[in-house]
Amino acid sequence: MRTAVTALAAAGLLAGCAPAPDQTGLDVTADVVSPVAKDEAIAALLPPEVRDSGVLKFGSSIGGPPAAFYLPDNTTAVGLDVDIADAVGRVLGVRVERQEASFEAILPALGSGKFQVGTGNFGVTEERKKTIDFVTYVDDGQGFAVRRDSDLPPVTDVVQLCGLTIGTGAGTTFESTLNAQQHRCAEAGRPPYQVQVFKERSANYSALQQGKVDVVMNTINGLHHATSQQPNLRYLNDFRRLDVGFALAKGSPLAPALQAAVDKLIADGSYQRILRKWGVEPSAIPRSQISPPELR
């Protein structure tokens, strides 16, 4: 398992360089984090042991742009999740210690104490809230994409997917949404759809391009980015929106400090600069919330 350098260090290495859009089409070197300053009042909300250590341990899923991905060195993690986390760390006056972990492994590891905070575009759901607390920082959600030659219309009901094969990520809200409603095809007298899960987002798109799956279900922001980069891919539609947040162990004392830090970034404009860098301005939220109700 790779340990990625915090983006604070990466920003220092990249500061002063000319804009350098990479294969993602984004200016991944733009430094929108280093101007963020510590707020003593907000830092005082941290538990004493975190203030004393000066470190927050993050478990991070590095799944793909624009949320989190590696530069060509395969070591430096960048993305929306990375910049938001590191900007929050600067407000709190702590260093973000980031360790890569698979999406499905992060939430259980919060309960064991291995990580204090998890990032990975974790959507807020009532099921997850039974064991996890969230501090929201963007609004994203579930969407569909198809090959450009597909005649599938926008999906407003999973019954439209009956008889098809859907590719999605392991351990995600997409997988659970599809599995929970699979019975509806039989009730409608139609053949069931098949759900094929992938650990790597790139494998999901490859399966779509090769005709191994008919449609992919993923994050709205991730799909918009993918369709902007892959000519044979077409964004189909939003299916539902979800709040996305930092994941914490249930009852974590870190929640108020993280919430106040996100709100500080929103108030001083740093938040908007980060979202603009990654092309996800429609995902802006007006304020952070701790474990809000699941969006329906």
* 7-25 residue pLDDT tens: 333 333 333 333 334 456 6
- Express as a percent the part of the chain with pLDDT over 90: 85
Q: What is the pLDDT of residues 113-157, one digit of tens each?
A: 999 999 999 999 999 999 999 999 999 999 999 999 999 999 999
Under the banding of pLDDT at 50, 70 and 90, the label for residue 200 is confident
Tokens of 94: 């702590």
Under the banding of pLDDT at 50, 70 and 90, the label for residue 4 is very low
- What is the per-residue pLDDT for 199? 85
Q: How far are the Cα atoms of 66, 73, 189 from residue 228, in angstroms, in the given order?
A: 12, 23, 37
Under the banding of pLDDT at 50, 70 and 90, the label for residue 26 is confident
Q: Is 273 exposed, middle or buried (0-12, 13-18, 19+ CB in 10 A)?
A: middle
Q: What is the pLDDT of residues 247-272, one digit of tens each?
A: 999 999 999 999 999 999 999 999 99
Under the banding of pLDDT at 50, 70 and 90, the label for residue 237 is very high
Calculated CA dihedral for residues 258, 260, 262, 265, nearest 10 degrees: -140
- What is the per-residue pLDDT for 24? 60
